[in-house]
């Protein structure tokens, strides 16, 4: 990497730049401005990265977001409490259950509703199923960005099973609207738990297969090890949470350390990155943490199936949400892409006064420049894929 | 030495892991495919599947609950009170129909399939039809009109409803005026000041045009205790 | 009647060239279909199934017609002459390789006495076309693709050439026909199995390096979709894009055919008694098998990075090729 001269170039056509160009002086020097996105195959939606490149070496990165902004927070102020739930699921559309759970827990905390054990267990079950489905897409698209097409299709088969299960339960495949304030929309259909168990046995050999095909493939390891190393300091400074934080070796999982919805009753081990193939916190660690997290989620699903208590899932659903207590609450849950915090202010009416969502993916995007400077364009693609962003959650 | 070891180890790992990957994909050659040849084979949807929204208009009682529950506000309903002349018939549960559903329009292109309208429906007339092929050539086709009244009929019934409403308001206003007049004489309390305000307005000659909005504030005062029997009297007289 | 005698060679050449172009087009059509089928079945899918009835066999024809009637877009800022010229140059580079492919003992465009050398030389022509396309598109992604492609193809020429030298040394000739003739009489006489394990290593190195030559996965960096959108043909559409596509599949056939010729016994059957089946069928069959393996690899492996690509070439393939060459040279000398 050659030494870069720092020339400040304002965005858009600047008169000084054109002056220089007309005199035959290249204001960029040896460097080139490259717009990666919003329409680019590897930006996972509509992220725009403005790169300054020296050959293939990236010397400056500026992420631009907002191409998928849908005013979730503002819309939530103008609809009633139950009507917000469909909007929450459109934030991270790959993990709708986890998104809805965070909001619902916030409203329940505000309204002081205690849900029964069956509701909690079912919520954990569907959230973990959804987490596996979400990680399947994350890992699959990661592999796709590295150039391996086939793992994506294999993982989509697994996801298809989960979506079938969730469709049978809730009626929809991605935007479930299943978790409700004070309970759930439906009880489980007959035989559904057995189907979940069947899925667990189906899923068991899939992860070793994935490891053989992809995780320990030499080319894959070479592409990812030592690339995009995120130190614990950087991760904490940028507020990184979820698998990306655990990949740096920081052992922190909301489900274990601040349990909600009865997660303390389950036996599982949060996975942390140890730098097996390279440096702790590199792309491969972020990858393998997700793979192992799928196995942990399977454990939780099995336990939830076994302990499924009896009860009425609609028992505590409030008759009317017209009158809410005034006040404010903040609830965070462990979504697949990091902590999802919902800050809710109520002024006593049937509509929230303010809803603020704090999403893990947003923080992850902010950290991209910090961890990928000086790499190649191919590394940048790997890093953007490895932090696993869903632009719906970033922009909200 | 270490570098040499790493060099050959890398080559060894490269060859073995690539071979393993190829073996895995080779096995998948002979696995059954999972493709569903869509137009010819179709998947069976679970009973709860939220497919396409439908309303069985004959069992809809026009309660507007679905329109209120909708987070995207795409359900537009207009109703009119049923009169004897309409022969509105009975609801499926046997009770006589109270409201005529004049228009029941759903902008299906904006529907988010959240299912909230189906859940709140008291008569279960909103339902999912278990079909999913609702592709159309124009956006207008996605505007679903489920009510069966022709436009001129809708206009006529709405006008009739207006007239009836106005009559009712007039009657109510007269009743309120009478009540106010009756209430004023026995005890001119300072508490009844708002009641007196309400009495002034209906007393004006254009009382027939009085809207229910004016009648509304008069209602809470009827809780006074002294007023209520007189109000009942007024109603009986009307 | 005009005497045809003086023009007979010319007529035969023209007929042969037309035949080869037809063959190349047909093979490309078949290969696109095969590629989708291989990809589909590896991924537990079916691939195209509708067009033409049986397993969608007419799908490539439909695609070809679609490409022919598509709007031809030339970017306003492109260097128009070079932009138009580039796809044909790439196609010619790929087509020229067919001249020395021996489909059978007497079915060969031209049995040059420097056949192997000619192939190595003429396939390098493709680089010029690709650079031209990348430059003329006036697109940064195209430029990256072209630069990567140039670096990669020129680097990988060397292991390819060194690996091909081993059968040439063993045969003592560069003529394709003579090399094949030396492998007659059963698969144990094929060069890939003679002087084990050196020639096997040479074959493997040749095969992998040839993947880089034709820009196929895992060395598909010049057109890496997730990195460079579509590499050097980002701006191309319609028939011009189809020319690149045709050239890519033509190149795949050429490199596989060379491997089949110099390592796998060309038109000879693996067992002498199977020689009743005509030579071209064996030749095309062996080539098609190698093409299939190329596809199989593509749908299995991730892509390398630029520096790793160079590492593999200069630090693994090259030393091994040299060592191989030396040892086979010794073998040949000692055997006399």
Domain spans in chain B, listed from the N-terminal domain onward: 52-149
Supply the mean pLDDT for chain C: 84
pLDDT tier at C269 (50, 70, 90 boundaries)?
confident
Instruction: With beta carbons less than 8 A apart as the criterion, state whether A282 and A275 touch.
Output: yes
User: Do C168 and C143 meet the contact criterion of CB atoms below 8 Å apart?
Assistant: no
Write down the mean pLDDT value for chain A.
85
Model pLDDT, residue A22: 67
Residues of C with CB under 8 A from a CB of A: 39, 42-45, 140, 144, 217-218, 220-221, 224-229, 299-308
Of A269, A271, A309, A266, give the one whose Cα is nearest residue A289: A271
**Which residues partner with B96 through β-bridges?**
B90
Q: Does B29 touch chain C (CB under 8 A)?
A: yes
CA distance C298 to chain B (A): 10
Read off φ and ψ for residue A278, nearest 5 degrees.
Answer: -160, -125
Structural domains of chain A, ranges and CATH numbers in brackets: 72-359 (1.10.645.10)
Q: Which of C69, C95, C113 is the last residue of a domain?
A: C69
**C201 pLDDT more than 50:** yes
Top pLDDT among A260 and A4 is at: A260
* Confidence category of residue A27, pLDDT binned at 50, 70, 90: low
| Dihedral angle sign, alpha carbons of residues A290, A291, A292, A296 | positive
Subunits adjacent to chain B (3 or more Cβ pairs under 8 Å): A, C
Q: How many domains does chain C have?
A: 2
Q: Which of C38, C53, C300 to mutate to test the interface with B (most CBs of B within 10 A)?
A: C300
Contacting residues of B for C42, CB less than 8 Å apart:
25, 28-29
Looking at the structure, do residues C64 and C91 belong to the same domain, yes or no?
A: no
Contact C296 B25 (CB under 8 A): yes
Q: Is the pLDDT of residue B238 over 50?
A: no
Q: Do B49 and A79 touch (CB under 8 A)?
A: no
Share of chain A above pLDDT 70, in %: 92
pLDDT tens track for A338-347: 888 899 898 8
Strand order in the sheet with A48-54: A32-36, A48-54, A57-64
CA pair distance C253, C268, nearest whole angstrom: 18
Cα separation of B74 and B90, whole Å?
28
C197 shares its domain with C57: no
pLDDT at B188 over 70: no
Q: Identify the residue whose tokens are 């809708």.
A: B154
| Structure confidence by residue, pLDDT tens digits, B128-173 | 887 777 788 888 888 888 877 777 877 888 888 888 888 888 888 8
Instruction: Tell me the shortest Cα–Cα distance from C40 to chain B, in angstroms.
Output: 9
Residue corresponding to tokens 């009119």: B80
Q: What's the Rg (C-alpha) of chain B? A: 33
Measure the CA–CA gap between C251 and A11, rounded to whole angstroms: 44
Residue B223 above 50 pLDDT? no
- Contacts across the A-C interface (CB distance below 8 Å): 76
Tell me: pLDDT of B208 over 70. Answer: no
Q: Do residues B123 and B92 make contact, with C-beta atoms less than 8 angstroms apart?
A: yes
| Cα–Cα nearest to A388, from A341, A336, A342, A339 | A336
CB interface of A with B, residues 195-214, below 8 Å: 209, 212-214
Assess whether C143 and C277 both reside in one domain: yes
Task: Encode pLDDT of C80-95 as tens digits.
Answer: 888 888 888 888 888 8
Q: What is the pLDDT of residues B46-61, one digit of tens each?
A: 888 888 888 888 788 8
Specify whether the CB–CB gap between A26 and A20 falls below 8 A: yes
Task: Pick the last residue of a domain from C48, C69, C90.
Answer: C69
**Any chain B CB within 8 A of the CB of A185?**
yes
Q: At what angle do helices C238-262 and C8-42 cross, to 10 degrees?
A: 100
Which residues on chain B are in Cβ contact (under 8 Å) with A168?
46, 48
Does B119 touch chain A if contact means CB atoms closer than 8 Å?
yes
Q: Which of A86, A157, A170 sits opposite B48 (nearest CB)?
A: A170
Residue A132, both tokens: 């596996």
The answer to whether the CB of A131 falls within 8 A of the CB of A340 is no
The verdict on residue C136 lying in a domain is yes
Residue A18: band (very low, low, confident or very high) from pLDDT cuts 50, 70, 90: low
Whether pLDDT at C283 is above 60: yes
Please report the pLDDT score of residue A132 as a whole number: 92
**Window 23-82 of B, Cβ < 8 Å to A:** 24-25, 28, 34, 45-50, 69-71
Domain membership of residue C74 (yes or no) is no
A57-72 as b/e, with b when 16 or more CB fall inside 10 Å? Answer: bbbebebebebbeeeb
Examine the domain organization and report whether C37 and C144 are in the same domain: no
Contacts of A150 in chain B (CB under 8 A): 25, 28
Which of B14, B45, B114 has its CB closest to that of A177?
B114
Q: Quick check: C308 contacting B, CB < 8 Å?
A: no
**Torsion on CA atoms C195, C196, C199, C204, rounded to nearest 10:** 170
Nearest CA in chain C to A54: C144
Q: Which of residues 143-182 of C touch B (CB under 8 A)?
A: none
- pTM of the entire structure? 0.82
- Is A381's CB within 8 Å of C226's CB? yes
Residues C18 and C83 both lie in one domain: no
| E strand segments, chain C | none
The answer to whether A322 touches A250, Cβ cutoff 8 Å, is: no
Q: Are C285 and C303 within one domain?
A: yes
**Out of C40, C300, C316, whose CB is closest to B11?**
C316
Across the interface, which of B11, B18, B33 has its CB nearest the CB of C301?
B18
The mean per-residue pLDDT over the stretch C47-60 comes to 82
* pLDDT value, residue A318: 82
With CB atoms and an 8 Å threshold, state whether C44 touches B28.
Answer: yes
- Alpha carbons A382 and A227: distance in angstroms, whole number: 8
Partner residue opposite A148 with nearest CB, options C227, C228, C302: C302
3-state SS track over C159-198? HHHHHHHHHHHHHCCCCHHHHHHCCCCCHHHCCCCCCCCH
Listed residue (A153, B42, A220, A136) closest to C41, CA to CA: A153
- pLDDT attached to residue A16: 66
Nearest CA-CA distance, residue C225 and chain A, Å: 7
Phi and psi of A16, rounded to 5°?
A: -60, -40
Which member of A144, A153, A154 has the closest CB to residue C226?
A: A144
Q: Which helix (H) or strand (E) holds C33?
A: helix C8-42
For residue C9, the enclosing domain spans 1-69
pLDDT tens readout for residues A167-184:
888 888 888 888 888 888
3-state secondary structure chain A: CCCCCCCCCCCCCCHHHHHHHHCCCCCCCCCEEEEECCCCCCCCCCCEEEEEEECCEEEEEEEECCCCCCCHHHHHHHCCHHHHHHHHHCCCCCCHHHHHHHHHHHHHHHHCCCCCHHHHHHHHHHHHHHHHHHHHHHHHHHHHHHCCCHHHHHHHHHHHHHHHHHHHHHCCCCCCCCEECCEECCCCCCCHHHHHHHHHHHHCCHHHHHHHHHHCCHHHHHHHCCCCCCCHHHHHHCCCCCHHHHHCCCCCCHHHHCCCCCHHHCCCCCCCCCCCCCCCCCHHHHHHHHHHHHHHHHHHHHHHHHHCCCCCCCCCCCCCCCCCCCEEEEEEEEECCEEEEEEEEECCCCCEEEEEEECHHHHHHHCHHHHHCCCEHHHHHHHHHHCCCCHHHHHC
- Partnered with residue C3 across adjacent β-strands are none
Rounded Cα distance between A182 and A179, Å, is 9
Q: What is the pLDDT of residues A189-222, one digit of tens each?
A: 888 889 999 999 998 888 888 888 888 888 888 8
Tell whether C30 and C88 lie within a shared domain: no
- Which residues 253-272 in chain A show a CB within 8 A of chain B? none
How much is the pLDDT for B154?
A: 79
The 8-class DSSP code of residue B228 comes to H
Q: Are A105 and A184 in contact (CB under 8 A)?
A: no
As a whole number of angstroms, the distance between CA C225 and CA A40 comes to 9
Q: Same domain, yes or no, for C55 and C131? A: no
**Torsion sign over Cα C237, C238, C239, C242:** positive
Please tell me the predicted confidence (pLDDT) of residue C245: 84
Q: Which residue of B has its CA nearest to C43?
A: B28
pLDDT tens digits, one per residue of A132-152: 999 999 999 998 888 888 889
User: Touching check for A1 and chain C: CB below 8 Å?
Assistant: no
Residue C269 included in any domain: yes
Closest CA to A285 of A344, A231, A345, A356: A231
Residue B20, min C-alpha distance to chain C (Å)? 10
Q: Supply the pLDDT for residue B224.
A: 41
Sign of CA dihedral A175, A179, A185, A186: positive
Task: Give the 3-state secondary structure of residue C106.
Answer: coil
Q: Sorting pLDDT into bands at 50, 70 and 90, what band is A24?
A: low
B75-81: strand order across its sheet: B75-81, B99-107, B143-145
Which band of pLDDT confidence, cut at 50, 70 and 90, is reported for residue B196?
very low
Mean pLDDT within A264-276: 85
Of the partner residues B10, B21, B113, the one whose CB lies closest to the CB of residue A213: B21
Domain check: are C144 and C62 in the same one? no
Pick from B21, B22, B29: CB nearest C41 = B29
Q: Do C226 and A223 touch (CB under 8 A)?
A: no
From the list B24, C297, C44, C304, the residue with the least C-alpha distance to A207 is B24
Please report whether residue C310 resides in a domain: yes
Q: Which among C39, C44, C225 has the least Cβ separation from residue A41?
A: C225
Q: Do A83 and B18 touch (CB under 8 A)?
A: no
Cβ-based contacts of B120 with chain A (< 8 Å) = none
Cβ-defined contacts of A35-44 (< 8 Å, 24+): A36/A377, A36/A380, A38/A67, A40/C229, A41/C225, A41/C226, A41/C229, A42/A145, A42/A381, A42/A384, A42/A385, A42/C226, A42/C227, A43/A384, A44/A141, A44/A384, A44/A385, A44/A389, A44/A390, A44/A391
User: Any CB–CB contact under 8 A between B14 and chain A?
Assistant: yes
* Residue B206 pLDDT exceeds 50: no
Q: Could you tell me if B32 lies within 8 Å of chain C, comparing CB atoms? A: yes
Residue of C nearest to A380 (CA): C227
Q: Is A217 on the interface with C (CB under 8 A)?
A: yes
Strands B99-107 and B143-145: antiparallel
In which element (H, E) is residue B99 found? strand B99-107
- Using the CB atoms, write b or e for C231-242: b if 16+ within 10 Å: bbbbbbeeebbb
> Residue A33: beta bridge partners?
A52
> Which CATH number among 3.30.70.3270, 3.40.50.2300, 3.10.20.440, 2.102.10.10 corresponds to the domain B52-149?
3.30.70.3270
C149 shares a domain with C15: no
Peptide bond into A387 cis (omega under 30): no
Confidence of residue A71 (pLDDT cuts 50, 70, 90): confident
CB C302 to CB A153 under 8 A?
no
Q: Domain check: are C178 and C216 in the same one?
A: yes
Cα→Cα distances C20→C7, C23, C58, C94, C245, Å? 20, 5, 21, 11, 17
Which of C41, C300, C316 lies nearest to residue B21, judging by beta carbons? C300
User: Half-sphere exposure (CA, 13 Å, Cβ side) for C53?
Assistant: 0
- Percent helix, strand and coil across chain C, each to the nearest 5: 70, 0, 30
Contact C40 B33 (CB under 8 A): yes
Q: Which of B8, B24, B28, B122 to mutate to test the interface with A (most CBs of A within 10 A)?
A: B24
Give me the mean pLDDT over the C158-187 stretch. 83
Angle formed at CA A331 by CA A326 and CA A337, multiple of 5 degrees:
145
Nearest Cα neighbor of C93 from C246, C221, C240 is C246
CA dist C173 and C168 (Å) reads: 6
């Amino acid at each position: 990497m050659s030494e870069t001269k720092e020339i400040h170039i304002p965005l858009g056509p600047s008169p000084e730049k054109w002056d220089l160009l007309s005199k035959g002086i290249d204001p960029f020097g040896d460097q080139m401005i490259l717009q990666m996105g919003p329409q680019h195959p590897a930006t996972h939606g509509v992220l725009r990265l403005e790169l300054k490149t020296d050959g293939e070496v990236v010397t400056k990165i500026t992420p631009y977001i907002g191409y998928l902004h849908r005013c979730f927070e503002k819309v939530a102020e103008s609809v009633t409490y139950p009507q917000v739930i469909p909007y929450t699921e459109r934030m991270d559309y790959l993990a709708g259950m986890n998104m809805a759970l965070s909001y619902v827990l916030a409203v329940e905390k505000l309204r002081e509703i205690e849900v029964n054990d069956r509701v909690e267990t079912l919520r954990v079950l569907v959230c973990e199923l959804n987490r596996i489905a979400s990680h399947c897409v994350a890992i699959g698209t990661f592999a796709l960005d590295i150039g391996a097409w086939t793992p994506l299709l294999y993982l989509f088969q697994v996801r298809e099973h989960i979506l079938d299960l969730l469709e049978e339960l809730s009626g929809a495949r991605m935007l479930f609207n299943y978790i409700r304030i004070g309970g759930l929309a439906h009880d489980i259909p007959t035989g559904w738990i057995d189907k979940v168990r069947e899925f667990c046995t189906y899923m068991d050999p899939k992860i070793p297969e994935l490891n053989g095909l992809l995780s320990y493939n030499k080319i894959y390891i070479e592409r990812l090890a030592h690339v995009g190393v995120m130190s614990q300091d950087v991760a904490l400074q940028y507020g990184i949470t979820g698998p990306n934080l655990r990949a740096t070796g920081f052992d922190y999982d909301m489900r274990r350390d601040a349990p909600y919805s009865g997660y303390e009753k389950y036996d599982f081990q949060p996975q942390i990155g140890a730098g097996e193939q390279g440096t702790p916190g590199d792309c491969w660690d972020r990858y393998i943490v997700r793979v192992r997290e799928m196995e942990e989620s399977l454990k939780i699903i099995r336990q939830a199936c076994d302990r499924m208590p009896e009860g009425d899932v609609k028992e505590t659903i409030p008759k009317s949400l017209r009158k809410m207590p005034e006040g404010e609450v903040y609830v965070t849950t462990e979504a697949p892409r990091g902590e999802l915090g919902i800050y809710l202010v109520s002024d006593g009416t049937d509509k929230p006064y303010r809803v603020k969502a704090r999403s893990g993916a947003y923080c992850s995007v902010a950290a991209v420049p910090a961890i990928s400077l000086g790499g190649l364009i191919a590394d940048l693609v790997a890093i953007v894929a490895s932090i696993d962003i869903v632009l719906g959650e970033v922009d909200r | 030495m270490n570098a040499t070891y790493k060099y050959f180890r890398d080559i060894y790992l490269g060859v073995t892991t690539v071979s393993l990957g190829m073996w895995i994909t080779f096995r998948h050659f002979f696995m059954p495919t999972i493709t569903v040849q869509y137009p010819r084979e179709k998947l069976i949807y679970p009973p709860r599947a939220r497919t396409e929204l439908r309303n069985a208009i004959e069992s809809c009682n026009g309660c507007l609950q679905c329109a209120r529950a909708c987070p995207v506000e795409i359900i537009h309903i207009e109703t009119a009170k049923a009169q004897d002349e309409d022969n509105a018939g009975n609801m499926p549960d046997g009770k006589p129909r109270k409201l005529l559903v004049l228009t029941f329009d759903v902008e299906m292109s904006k529907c988010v399939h959240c299912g909230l309208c189906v859940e709140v429906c008291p008569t279960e007339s909103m339902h999912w039809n278990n079909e999913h092929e609702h592709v159309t050539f124009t956006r207008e086709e996605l505007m679903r009109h489920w009510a069966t009244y022709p436009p001129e009929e809708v206009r006529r019934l709405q006008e009739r409803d207006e007239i009836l409403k106005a009559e009712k308001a007039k009657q109510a206003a007269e009743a309120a005026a009478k009540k106010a007049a009756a209430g004023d004489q026995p005890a001119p309390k300072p508490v009844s000041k708002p009641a007196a305000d309400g009495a002034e307005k209906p007393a004006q000659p254009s009382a027939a045009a009085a809207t229910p909005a004016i009648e509304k504030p008069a209602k809470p005062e009827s809780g006074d205790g002294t007023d209520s029997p007189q109000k009942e009297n007024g109603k009986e007289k009307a | 009647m005009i005497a045809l005698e003086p023009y007979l060679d010319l007529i035969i050449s023209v007929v042969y060239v037309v035949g080869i172009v037809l063959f190349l087009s047909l093979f490309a059509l078949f290969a696109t279909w095969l590629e989708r089928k291989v990809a589909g079945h590896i991924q537990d899918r079916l691939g195209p199934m509708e067009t033409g009835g049986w397993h969608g066999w007419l799908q490539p024809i439909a695609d070809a017609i679609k490409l022919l009637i598509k709007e031809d877009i030339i970017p306003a800022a492109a260097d128009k002459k070079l932009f138009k010229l580039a796809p044909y140059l790439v196609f010619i580079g790929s087509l020229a390789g067919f001249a020395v492919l021996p489909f059978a003992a007497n079915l060969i465009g031209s049995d040059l006495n420097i056949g192997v050398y000619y192939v190595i030389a003429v396939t390098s022509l493709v680089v010029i076309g690709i650079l031209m396309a990348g430059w003329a598109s006036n697109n940064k992604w195209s430029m990256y693709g072209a630069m990567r492609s140039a670096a990669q193809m020129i680097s990988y020429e060397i292991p390819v050439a060194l690996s091909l030298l081993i059968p040439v040394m063993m045969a003592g000739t560069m003529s394709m026909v003579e090399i094949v003739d030396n492998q007659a009489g059963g698969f144990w006489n094929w060069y890939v199995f003679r002087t084990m394990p050196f020639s096997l290593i040479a074959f493997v190195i040749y095969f992998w390096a040839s993947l880089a030559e034709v820009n196929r996965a895992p060395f598909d960096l010049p057109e890496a979709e997730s990195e460079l959108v579509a590499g050097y043909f980002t701006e191309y559409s319609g028939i011009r894009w189809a020319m690149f596509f045709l050239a890519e599949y033509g190149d795949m056939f050429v490199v596989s055919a060379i491997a089949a010729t110099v390592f796998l016994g060309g038109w000879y059957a693996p067992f002498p008694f199977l020689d009743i089946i005509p030579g071209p069928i064996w030749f095309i069959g062996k080539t098609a098998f190698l093409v299939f393996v190329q596809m199989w690899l593509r749908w299995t492996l991730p892509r390398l990075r630029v520096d790793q690509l160079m590492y593999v070439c200069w630090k693994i393939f090259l030393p091994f090729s040299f060592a191989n060459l030396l040892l086979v040279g010794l073998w040949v000398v000692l055997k006399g």
